[in-house]
Amino acid sequence: MTSVDDFRIKSHALLMDLDAATAQMMQLVSARSVSGPAWEEAVKRQHDAYVHWNTFINNRDGADPADAS
């Protein structure tokens, strides 16, 4: 596979994770459950997913952000 394909596949996987985390938060908003442990966990998950995606997109050496942890 080319590096462009690898980039596209990894970016898509990270975006799917970010989308799932955001959807989880929005479900809690719809349920009017925006405080407590479930909310805090959802906020952390969404934040972490965004950080991983953003780091990957802006990383110039192409390394996977999960490998840098």
Burial of 35 (0-12, 13-18, 19+ CB in 10 A): exposed
Please state the domain count of the chain.
1
Whether the model clears a pTM of 0.85, i.e. scores above it, the answer is no
Q: Which domain holds residue 15?
A: 3-59
Q: What is the pLDDT along the chain (69 residues), one digit of tens a residue?
A: 568 899 999 999 999 999 999 999 999 999 999 999 999 999 999 999 999 999 999 986 655 555 554
In a domain, 52, yes or no: yes
Q: Rounded CA gap, 9 and 13, in Å? A: 6
Q: Is residue 69 part of a domain?
A: no
Assigned domain for 35 exists: yes
* Contact by Cβ (8 Å): 45, 21: yes
Whether residue 7 is contained in a domain is answered as yes
